[in-house]
């Protein structure tokens, strides 16, 4: 099993799916000759040509609409939106078209389009380039929304998404493209549903996705030094959320800390909290706790930027308070 970068896992999935099916093509800004801002299509322009690895104008709504339309007549497009902040310009195509076409056509027309986009807070990119829009897509009926936090899921979920008949939004994170991890040497398809226990524990369940999974893992290390055993769950999918895995963990730990990179009001933590209360209530010994971003546009100043976000220390402190330490 090879250890590869996150971006290379995404690139490999593109390569394999394009080799497998001539109807698979990729489009987006700077994904052709430049190979993508994060190298996720590096080398594919030379291998598959400009008709299957298309550089597009800076017009997100237009080229996303081309991808949606192409998927309606049988193609399998992978649309890369360079930053999820720019996806706001394409929401009419993603939310008002891709998510609804099957339902409005009475099931006669599908829309198997994949939209990939990195988001999250990287490093001093400012409020307009630090969007965390998962609540927007996860709150839209008709979409699948997945958040691969590790290279193995970045590879396997993209491959599964390309062959899925539903429109799939894959939210990546700008800060983890250089994360390394093991990916099977043989072809691998990761499910688009289901959370994963990435660290077992017995005292508390730490719940997150994307970057917050990594913060939770770091917090678990800190808590272990104090004799607290934390179980860490990577949700992987935000639509649907896997309540069964959460319930199984809480049946063991009976306490939950939810960490998300977005803001608390109407954010993903609110939806996760609702799932815990509605479907896991009788496993809880205490109300779940949220650790989220501050309810402000992300500041450019690095000190303020860090202060606005959750981190391992904040998660560990919240967990200690929950456990009465």
Domain boundary (183, 218, 235) is at 183
* Model pLDDT, residue 123: 85
Q: What is the mean pLDDT of each run of 10 residues along the chain (325 residues)?
A: 96 98 97 93 96 96 97 98 95 97 96 96 89 95 98 98 98 96 97 98 98 98 98 97 98 98 96 97 97 96 96 98 91
Q: How far apart are the C-alpha atoms of 125 and 81, rounded to whole Å? A: 17
Domain extent for 32:
2-183
Q: What is the pLDDT of residue 268?
A: 97
The reported pLDDT for the residue numbered 254 is 98
Q: How far is CA 194 from CA 58, 236, 260, in A?
A: 35, 7, 18
Give the span between the Cα atoms of 95 and 91, in whole angstroms. 5
The pLDDT value given to residue 325: 77
Regarding whether 169 and 37 lie in a shared domain, the answer is yes
Query: Residue 122 is part of a domain; what is its CATH number?
Result: 3.40.50.970
**pLDDT of amino acid 99:** 98
Domain count, the chain: 2
Helix (H) or strand (E) holding 207: strand 204-208
pLDDT tens, residue by residue, 233-252: 999 999 999 999 999 999 99
State pLDDT tens for residues 166-218: 999 999 999 999 999 999 999 999 999 999 999 999 999 999 999 999 999 99
Q: Is 173 a catalytic residue?
A: no
Rg (CA), the chain: 20
**Residues 266, 174 share a domain:** no
**The domain that contains 259 carries what CATH number?**
3.40.50.920
Q: Clarify whether residues 30 and 177 are in a common domain.
A: yes
Last residue of a domain, one of 133, 158, 183: 183
Residues 179 and 301 in one domain: no
From 14, 17, 29, 60, the catalytic residue: 60
Q: Are residues 290 and 167 in the same domain?
A: no
How confident is the model at residue 1, as a pLDDT? 87
What pLDDT shows up at residue 108?
A: 96
Statement to judge: residues 114 and 239 lie in one domain: no
Q: Is 80 a catalytic residue?
A: no
């Amino acid at each position: 099993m090879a250890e590869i970068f996150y971006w290379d896992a995404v690139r490999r999935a593109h390569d394999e799916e394009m080799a497998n099916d001539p109807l698979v093509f990729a489009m987006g800004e700077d994904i052709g000759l430049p190979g993508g801002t994060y190298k996720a299509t590096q080398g594919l322009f030379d291998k598959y040509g400009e008709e299957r690895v298309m550089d597009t104008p800076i017009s997100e709504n237009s080229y996303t609409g081309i991808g949606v339309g192409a998927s309606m007549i049988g193609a399998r497009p992978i649309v890369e939106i360079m930053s999820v902040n720019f996806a706001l310009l394409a929401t009419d195509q993603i939310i008002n078209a891709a998510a609804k076409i099957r339902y409005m056509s009475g099931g006669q027309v599908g829309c198997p389009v994949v939209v990939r986009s990195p988001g999250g807070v990287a490093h001093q990119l400012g409020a307009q380039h630090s969007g965390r829009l998962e609540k927007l897509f996860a709150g839209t009926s008709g979409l699948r929304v997945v958040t691969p936090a590790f290279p193995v899921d970045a590879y396997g979920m993209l491959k599964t998404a390309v062959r899925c008949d539903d429109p799939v939004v894959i939210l990546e994170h700008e800060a983890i493209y250089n994360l390394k991890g093991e990916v099977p040497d043989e072809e691998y398809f990761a499910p688009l549903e289901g959370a994963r226990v990435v660290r077992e524990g017995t005292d508390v369940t730490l719940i997150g996705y994307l970057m917050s999974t990594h913060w939770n893992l770091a917090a678990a290390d800190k808590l272990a030094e104090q004799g607290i055993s934390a179980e860490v769950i990577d949700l992987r999918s935000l639509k649907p959320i896997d309540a069964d895995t959460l319930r199984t963990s809480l049946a063991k730990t009976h306490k939950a800390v939810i960490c998300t990179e977005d803001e608390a009001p109407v954010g993903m933590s609110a939806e996760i909290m609702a799932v815990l209360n509605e479907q896991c209530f009788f496993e809880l010994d205490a109300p779940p706790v949220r650790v989220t971003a501050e309810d402000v546009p992300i500041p450019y100043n690095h000190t303020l930027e860090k202060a606005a976000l959750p981190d391992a220390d904040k998660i560990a402190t919240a967990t200690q308070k929950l456990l009465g330490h």
